[in-house]
Amino acid sequence: MKINEIFYSVQGEGRYTGTPAVFVRFAGCNLNCWFCDTEFHSYSEMSEDEIVAEVSQYPSRYMVITGGEPTLQLTASLTDKLHAIGFYIMLETNGTHPLPEGCTIDWITCSPKRPAPQSTTPSSIYPIRIQRIDELKVVYEGENQDMSQYDAIQAKEYRLQPCCTNDRQKDTFITNQTIDYILAHPKWRLSLQTHKILGVR
């Protein structure tokens, strides 16, 4: 398997914010999002047993499988091995690829993506093919974003996360618009990238 990195930190986003977790980042993605802030191209080849041995060194039994897009490589045998040693597995996915057959995941966070604003169809999200969504996390880019396209997506929880542009003034403006939207549409909950606020991985 092509693994970009394995590290131990606290979950910074969504329902499990603040939870100590082992992060396994798979290399490679089927999309190229303009706002992506993750370097996921470099990798080391690791066997499933090597992955299991490395993650077993950490005290927490919460795991975040992320990427890139992890469903491109994830296997049922890996998730079975992780569950066998007590891990609660959380998956972060863009939802455009189905979960491989037999994979058992405890919590699926899907963050749908759409083409860049300069695209000919910038408002349309890529088709969702993941079989189940526990937490729908939408990166909010501002009041012109078409939120109606998420109405038909079924999930247990809905979170709106301000898009980070690395422009402090613009980020403050987007955050304020995100809060305004949530106040007007209370099915959504605010998700912040608290790891960035705290300066941790």
Catalytic annotation, residues: 23, 29, 33, 36-38, 92, 195
Strand partners, 7: 23
Question: What stretch of H or E contains 63?
Answer: strand 62-66
DSSP-based helix, strand, coil % in the chain, nearest 5: 25, 25, 55
**Residue 61, helix vs strand vs coil:** coil
Diameter of the chain measured on Cα atoms: 48
Structure tokens at 150: 């998420």
β-pair type (20-26, 88-93): unpaired
Question: How many angstroms separate the CA atoms of 135 and 27, rounded?
Answer: 23
**Residues near 178 by beta carbon (within 8 Å), at least 6 away in sequence:** 140, 160, 161, 162, 190
Give me the half-sphere count of Cα atoms (radius 13 Å) on the Cβ side of residue 121: 5
